């Protein structure tokens, strides 16, 4: 890759520029299934949470994290079998992931990533000068033989979403966790980073790969459960990892706002929140399964065990996305999600009711027909 600098000439770039994947403009009247957002109707009312906030202001030199937040977070981690002895509060899942990668790796190092996987993770690796090592994914998460190959090629860390994997909806079960654990035993110095971005709304139990690891971190965001604008996540990990994350944080932003921490504590304490989270989990599962069933009835077999996204392999993702747009449906093209995986589209089902899923599946089936045939038969 080269970088042009006008009269200063053109030189070989120190690293490739970051890819930019602009979102297609969604015209009025087109149903947007490309965004990846949770359903606003299934999020708690932040206005009432703000009105109940009572914590005092934070000052330099004071405590960094609210004890109430750490206590509540520790209970949630331990319920899922995650060691929560050491915790940090970070400004969202990617903030925590970036901080762990920054001290665990150096530019040029390789990171095993799910393929297809979350575009912002791939972009983050590019920004840090790290090389993605693709690991094939099925509906049970990363495939053990593919992970072994990635580690054999020199990957020094693995970044995985144990449930609600974006874009496939995969979820690691106990059997797959055992397979992956066997592979990881041969690589004791590899850092395991888990991204539990969907939390209680994932629709699948949490199965961790962190047990017994010397270097690990599990990041749990509140974005999908309490709201994307609450830029907050809890990070559990080994003592050194958590200490370095907090140390780096003190040199930059200092701490995550106590206003945000207090709001999260208040929402978790609200008696209405557990019921809302259960409703969200059931609703997302019903909508996701509705699309999978509708596609199956029209000859397209896909699987999505958790989360709010469905990945549909297609022969030509640009042509399919364009045809769906013409039919009134916006989806995410697969290119930003892929390293070596085949083409596909991502459909976000967070607000897609089953009756709409039937209409979408019909439009999708038509999108697979060459344009001349669709025109001839219309």
Phi, psi of 150 (to 5 degrees): -65, -40
Q: How far apart are CA 233 and CA 197, in angstroms?
A: 9
Alpha helix locations (H) across the chain?
46-52, 67-79, 93-104, 119-127, 144-152, 174-185, 239-251, 258-269, 272-297, 317-326, 354-367, 371-377
Q: Which helix (H) or strand (E) holds 65?
A: none
More confident residue, 64 or 19: 64
Question: Which domains are present in the chain?
Answer: 21-43+273-377 (3.90.1150.10), 66-269 (3.40.640.10)
Reported as a single tens digit per residue, the pLDDT across 224-270 is 999 999 999 999 999 999 999 999 999 898 999 999 999 999 999 99
d(CA 268, CA 205): 19
Rounded CA separation 79/197 (Å): 17
331 token code pair: 């989806």
How far out from the chain centre does Cα 300 lie?
Answer: 25
- Angle (CA) 130-132-133 rounded to 5° is 130
- Compute, in degrees rounded to 10, the torsion defined by CA atoms 30, 36, 40, 42: 120
Q: What is the pLDDT of residues 327-372, one digit of tens each?
A: 999 999 999 999 999 999 999 999 999 999 999 999 999 999 876 4
Q: What is the pLDDT of residue 364?
A: 98
Task: Kindly report the pTM of this predicted structure.
Answer: 0.90
From CA 297, how far away is CA 73, in angstroms rounded?
Answer: 42
Which two three-digit tokens encode residue 53?
């906030």
In the chain, pLDDT over 90 holds for what percent of residues? 81
Residue 278 sits at φ, ψ, to 5 deg, of: -65, -40
């Amino acid at each position: 890759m080269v970088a042009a600098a006008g009269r200063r000439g053109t030189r070989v770039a120190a690293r490739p520029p970051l890819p930019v994947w602009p979102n297609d403009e969604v015209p009025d009247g087109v149903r947007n299934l490309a965004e990846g957002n949770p359903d606003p109707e299934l999020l708690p009312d932040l206005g009432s949470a703000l009105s109940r906030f009572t914590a005092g202001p934070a000052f330099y030199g004071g405590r960094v994290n609210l004890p109430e937040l750490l206590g509540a977070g520790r209970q949630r981690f331990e319920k899922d079998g995650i060691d929560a002895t050491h915790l940090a509060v970070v400004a969202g899942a990617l903030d925590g992931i970036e901080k762990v990668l920054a001290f665990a790796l150096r530019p040029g190092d390789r990171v095993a990533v799910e393929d297809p996987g979350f575009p912002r993770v791939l972009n983050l690796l590019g920004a840090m000068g790290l090389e993605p090592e693709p690991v094939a994914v099925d509906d049970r998460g990363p495939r053990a033989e593919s992970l072994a190959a990635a580690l054999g090629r020199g990957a020094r860390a693995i970044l995985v979403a144990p449930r609600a994997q974006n874009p496939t909806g995969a979820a690691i079960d106990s059997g797959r966790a055992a397979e992956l654990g066997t592979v990881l035993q041969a690589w004791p110095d590899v850092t395991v980073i888990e991204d539990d971005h969907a939390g209680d709304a994932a629709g699948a139990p949490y199965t961790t790969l962190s047990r017994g690891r010397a270097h690990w971190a599990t990041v749990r965001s509140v974005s999908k459960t309490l709201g994307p604008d609450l830029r907050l996540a809890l990070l559990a990990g080994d003592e050194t990892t958590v200490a370095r994350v907090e140390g780096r944080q003190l040199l930059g932003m200092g701490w995550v706002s106590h206003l945000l921490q207090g709001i999260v504590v208040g929402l978790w304490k609200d008696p209405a929140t557990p019921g809302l989270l259960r409703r969200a989990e059931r609703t997302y599962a019903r909508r996701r399964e509705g699309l999978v069933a509708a596609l199956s009835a029209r000859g397209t077999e896909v699987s999505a065990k958790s989360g709010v996204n469905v990945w549909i392999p297609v022969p030509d993702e640009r042509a399919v996305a364009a045809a769906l747009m013409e039919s009134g449906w916006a989806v995410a093209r697969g290119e930003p999600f892929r390293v070596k995986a085949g083409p596909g589209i991502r459909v976000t089902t967070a607000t897609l009711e089953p009756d709409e899923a039937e209409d979408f599946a019909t439009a999708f089936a038509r999108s697979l027909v060459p344009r001349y045939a669709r025109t001839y038969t219309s």
